[in-house]
Amino acid sequence: MAHNDFAGEEPINYEQKCPCVLVLDVSGSMSGKPIRQLNEGLKEFREEILNDETACDRLEVSIVTFGSDIDEVQSFSLLENFEMPELKINGSTRLVDGAKEGLRLIEERKKWYKSTGQTYYRPYVILMTDGYPDGGQDIDGLSIEVNQGVDNKKFNFWAFGVEGADMNMLEKISHPQFKPLKLKGLDFVKFFKWLSSSMSSIAASHDGDNVDISPKSENDNPFQITI
């Protein structure tokens, strides 16, 4: 250090956590190429986050799958602490139950943060589906829960559809601030690259409200939208 330069060591401060739950469709229609691509995309997501020194210390990910069963295949953890699970096909499409489980896990995690004196970034619920929910699933109830939660800044909820998804249903459950988007083909790798980049920006932000996470170029754009 030169004599006439400012210098100062930083103290050890722990990182505040940014919880994100991925609610993923593993119903029968995802068999074959879609589930392989989804698994590949998840691995890409992990690698990208681990390469970001801020996000890898802040982003806690949980994974819930929905088919005929609802499974929490990964509980909240930093990505460095686990390998991505290999998702397997599991029957029908209990989408609402899966999404509600994601919301329940978020509330549970928030309680844990509070009980341990931690502040946290506004949680994200990311829902991904390629189909129509099973009959009897309470779409209206989920819609109310999602919209109230987003309005009250309890969490952000974002739904994504793959070819074949019921986009009208996704529109119905989503908050107007987070309109559902449809993927181009089965490019889960590009989607998870975008998601990792978005979550990195959110985890590095001070206040998630104004973070611009739209795709920056057509090349990075995993969605059927024009930039």
Partner 1 sequence: MSKSLWKIVGASLVGKSHIESSIPCQDAHNFKLINDTTGIAVVCDGAGSSNNSHLGSEFIVKKTIEYITILIEKTSCLNKDIQITHEEWQEHMLELIKKLQEELYDFSQEQKLEYKSLACTFILILFSPHRILTCHIGDGRAGYADVSENWKSLFIPFKGEQVGQTVFITSDLLNDNEHLIETSIINDNISSFTLMSDGCELASWECYNKKEDEESYYDPNLPFPKFFKPCVNALKSMYFDELSDGEIQEKWSSFLENGNTALQKETDDKTMILGTLINT
- Closest CB to partner 1 among 122 and 193? 122
Nearest CB to partner 1, comparing residues 140 and 220: 220
Minimum distance from CB of 115 to partner 1 (Å)? 8
- Are residues 123 and 21 in contact, defined by beta-carbon separation less than 8 angstroms? yes
- Least distance in angstroms from the C-beta of 5 to partner 1: 6
CB of 108 vs partner 1, minimal distance in Å? 15
Nearer to partner 1, 24 or 105 (CB): 105
d(CA 15, CA 183): 33
Q: Give the Cα separation of 196 and 160 in Å (integer).
A: 15
CB of 204 to partner 1, least distance (A): 4
Pairing between β-strand 70-78 and β-strand 59-66 as defined by DSSP bridges? antiparallel
Q: Which of 152, 207, 217, 226 binds partner 1 (CB under 8 A)?
A: 207
Q: According to the binding rule CB under 8 A, does residue 33 interact with partner 1?
A: no
Check: CB of residue 20 under 8 Å from CB of residue 173: no
Q: How far is the CB of 202 from partner 1 (least distance, A)?
A: 9
Give the Cα separation of 182 and 223 in Å (integer).
5
Give the contact letters, 152-191, x = binds to partner 1 (CB under 8 A), - = no: -x--------------------------------------
Candidates 23-31, 62-70, 161-169, 202-210; binding stretch for partner 1 (CB under 8 A) = 202-210
Instruction: Pick one of 88, 110, 172, 182: the residue that binds partner 1 (CB under 8 A).
Output: 110
Among 33, 81, 117, 219, binds partner 1 (CB under 8 A): 117
Under rule CB under 8 A, residue 6 binds partner 1: yes
Site residues (CB under 8 A) for partner 1? Answer: 3-16, 18, 53-54, 110, 113-122, 153, 201, 204-212
